[in-house]
Structure 1
Amino acid sequence: MSGILLLLCFGILLLLKVPLGVSFVISSALYLLLNGLPITCVAQRMVNSISYSFPLLAVPLFIFLGSLMNTTQLTRRIFDAAKLFVGSVRGGLAYVNVLASLIFSGISGAALADVGGLGNIEMKAMRDEGYSDEASVGITLASGTIGPIFPPSIPLIIYAAVAEVSGVRLLIAGVIPGILIAAFLCVLIAFFAKRKNYPVHISTSSSREKWKTIKETLPILILPPFLVGSLLMGWFGPTEIGAVACVYTILISRFVYRELSLQKFWLAVKEAIRSTALIMFTVASASIFAWCLTVAQVPQNLTSLMLSVSQNPIVLLLFTNLLLLAIGTFMESISAILVITPLVTPMLVRAGVDPVHIGIVIVLNLMIGLLTPPVGMSLYMGSIVTGIPFERITKYIVPWLLPLLLSLLVVTFIPQLSLWLPSLIFGK
């Protein structure tokens, strides 16, 4: 069984709507059987891929952290604090939306956690303030893409594990691109605020009430800069940061804000276990599929083919962007990372592209894919949260794809935006 047949078998299973992890296992098992290789390799590779990967331990921790945030009122406190800084200008709540997403991304590390948790609060507040559904939904979903780029980030950690690169360098590499995305979104908000006459948030809070809000939210507001600062200073790795953040969030939710009951705690645990089991099975099954691809020399052949067409890294990155944007329209982001990383990374590395830069490009592409139909998981989440039909939400997001695509082009073709900070801290 050749590599082409392996990919064909995998594609047929996906078209039959077989779950991704199961598709990985079945196609890999068939490849092993038809080539006379021991079927026990399936279990061995799957177990080893998650048993000996220390960075992957961060994934369930950040999933649990996002669940904790969503089952308590911490996300609302973050939003209320952000309103104090930029809420009084025209379109203020739109800026607050982006700022709060940037803050919350340093805690949840996942776009869907941003949309399902903080996004629900943001969209309701903007609607109550007089914003149209087009503005409130579009801005919220677009700002949710910052989460997986700005550290910590579950997709970046998974890419690091698959590509075997430093998870810490990769997370730090996402700092400047994450801020860049937020800046581009704010530029478009400023344009629409004048053109469409966005509302001005009139605060009725006194100075004493504002100061009280700041003091109350300070315990949770210091967590994101602490997480990022710990990475920059080298105090903790991704896994340690996940553990520290979980313990800290539990303590302040229970003893400072007194909002974490035993019932809410177990609800967060069950949600985290369910999500972790699904992701880890998919990661494990992808490892045997990637190994079969390597045995069949698919990455090597693809690399040789693409390098015969062009050895210019700019051309290859442009091709990769087009491929990823297309894949992102129908495949969920983590699944796409597991499938695409073993295929495109060797080709780009051989052309001279840094694997850390490749990780940022891949994840940013796939986060934009969360906003494109037919899959568009963020679009479906927005539809569930707001009750607005999926088709209307798809129209609302179109203008906000412009700053995201512009960010993608800038990050892709100016690699130092991703590589400068890790190089400054850790050297070349």
Structure 2
Amino acid sequence: MMLALLGLAIAVLLVIRVPVAFAFLGPSLVYMALVGQSTGAALRLVTNAAASFPLLAVPLFVLLGALANHAGIAERLFRFAQAVLAKVRGNLGYVAIGTSVGFSWMSGSAVADAAALGKVQIPAMIKAGYGRRFATGLSSAAALIAPVMPPSIPAVIFAGLAAASTGALFAASVIPALVMAVGLCVVVFILVRRNPALRSGRFDKAEFMASTKGVILPLFAPFVILGGILGGFFTPTEAAAVGAAYILLVGIVQRSLTLKGFLEALKETALTTGSIMLIVASASLLGYILARERLPQMLTELLFTITSSPIMFLALVAVLMLILGTVIDATAILVLVTPILLPIALKYEVNPIVLGVLMIVSLMIGLLTPPVGTVLFVTATVSKTPVGEVFRGALPFLVPLVVTMILIIVFPDAVMWLPGVLGL
């Protein structure tokens, strides 16, 4: 009964648009008071959750992405990809995906990618004759590669909660992210063939050389960050700090990062980090309450009465993430659900790394689905397009994302191949 009332209170607050962190925190504090727990105990739980050392990497990765954005790296990558693929029919569709993959090595946030790349990709595609739905839908879907491809902020959060290796989770995420990118390219190929007005361009050697010069230094960032982590030279937190310093240096050397841009990057980092940490803290208190009410044990017993198959368990997890991801922020779901699902996954002998990759990919699809659909709203704002129009444009691109999720469920060993090769 207590759990039912708690869930109802949270649902009502979310429906009336109370921010997720406060929708979790308010009912949780009321529960603590009703069961005789002190507010001091609640405060300790909240502060301990936010004071986790692995989470120190989050603000640094946020800063890394913000600096890359204000240093104009997105525009440089777009220009380079456009020069390389000039002779390919429908090249701007592939350029959008390639730019998103390149920028994702420096940004672990779909929202940051949608904002930074959408300003460049969408106007260029519309000007070249691509439909507005196609342009906004593709830009939104391609932005989802960032939270999957390392360095990934959701991966850092999951690894900290599950006491798993961040490096192993990063390595395991590479293949699913590339599968997503290839799948999006297939959809672009199909849609472009239906538009005879789109023609290939002409390769310009001078433009290619000029754009290559602009991306040489930024493209070393992934080697610095991921090479340092996977090679054992840095911890993820240290790699995030080194990466942010490197991008700052690139911005200064290329004279593309102004003092105003640097200060804006710091401001964005503070706001984003504050939002994430507030959600982490409030969700951790709610997670403590759910554990106190023995919800994980009840779910374990229920699931084992339904199926004993690890694949079916992963399928149920994916469905749950898809449903929750449409109404609740992905960070809140990770913090809330990971401590519940992890013990169950271990009973099914599911590798925590596989569970983490599946949860992240499934939750990212929620960023493209109403009513929350954060990426939809960002793209709509950037492109000055109605949200419904953006969603309709994104629908075809949801197919390869769902296919990627299904492949993770059916072939979990493939996810662990790269971590195995790297000895992680």
Taking structure 2 as the reference length, the TM-score comes to 0.95
Which of 322, 325, 334 is the aligned partner of 1:325?
322
Q: 2:274, 2:70 → 1: CA distance?
A: 20
Count of matched residue positions in the alignment of Structure 1 and Structure 2: 424
What secondary structure does 1:107 align onto? coil
| 1:151–1:172 Cα contact (<8 Å) kept | yes
Aligned position for 2:250? 252
Equivalent-residue separation in structure 1 for 2:227 and 2:413 (angstroms) = 20
- Give RMSD over aligned pairs: 1.7
Work out whether 1:39 is the aligned partner of 2:36: no
**Distance between the aligned counterparts of 2:86 and 2:224, measured in 1?**
25
Measured in 2, the distance between the counterparts of 1:198 and 1:116 equals 28
Answer whether contact 1:62 1:242 (CA < 8 A) is retained: yes
Partner of 1:406: 403
How far apart are the structure 1 equivalents of 2:315 and 2:225?
Answer: 33
The yes-or-no answer on 1:224 pairing with 2:250 is no
Which residue is 2:24 aligned to? Answer: 24
Residue 169, structure 1, aligned to residue 156, structure 2: no
Task: Report the alpha carbon displacement of residue 47 of structure 1 after superposing the two structures with TM.
Answer: 1.3
Contact 1:87/1:96, CA 8 A, preserved across alignment: no
- Among 276, 299, 303, the alignment partner of 2:300 is 303
Q: How many Å separate the matches in 2 of 1:16 and 1:41? A: 29
- Call closer, same or farther: CA 1:122–1:151 in 2, change over 3 Å: same
Q: Say if 2:352 is the partner of 1:345.
A: no
- Structure 1 stretches of 4+ with a deviation exceeding 4 A read none
Any idea what the Cα deviations from partners look like across 1:47-87, whole Å, max 9, x if unmatched?
11222x22211111111122222223221001111223223
Which amino acid letter does the alignment assign opposite residue 29 of structure 2?
A
Question: Displacement of 1:239 after TM fit?
Answer: 1.0
For the pair 1:140 / 2:132, whether they are aligned, the reply is no
Aligned partners of 1:19, 1:212: CA distance in 2, in Å? 46
3-state SS, counterpart of residue 258 of structure 1: coil
Change (3 A) 1:225 1:200: farther
Tell whether the 8 Å contact from 1:95 to 1:186 is kept in structure 2 after alignment. yes
Q: Which structure 2 residue ranges, 5 or more long, are not aligned?
A: none
**1-structure distance, mates of 2:185, 2:409:** 20
Cα separation, 2, equivalents of 1:198 and 1:315: 45
Where do residues 9-408 of structure 1 align in structure 2 (5 Å cutoff)? 9-51=9-51, 53-197=52-196, 199-203=198-202, 205=204, 207-254=205-252, 256-408=253-405
CA drift at 1:172: 1.3
Q: Structure 1 stretches of 5 or more lacking a match?
A: none
2:22 and 2:184 mapped to 1: Cα distance? 38
- Measured in 2, the distance between the counterparts of 1:316 and 1:191 equals 34
CA–CA distance in structure 1, aligned partners of residues 176 and 212 of structure 2: 28
What percent identity do the matched residue pairs reach? Answer: 34
Distance 2:21 2:129 in 1: 44
Distance in structure 2 (CA, Å) of the matches to 1:9 and 1:384: 31
Aligned residue type for 1:33: A
The answer (yes or no) to whether the contact 2:64–2:243 under 8 Å persists in 1 is yes
Deviations 1:264-318 (A, max 9, x none): 2111111110111111111112112211211111111111111122111111211
Output the CA distance in 2 between the equivalents of 1:264 and 1:192. 37
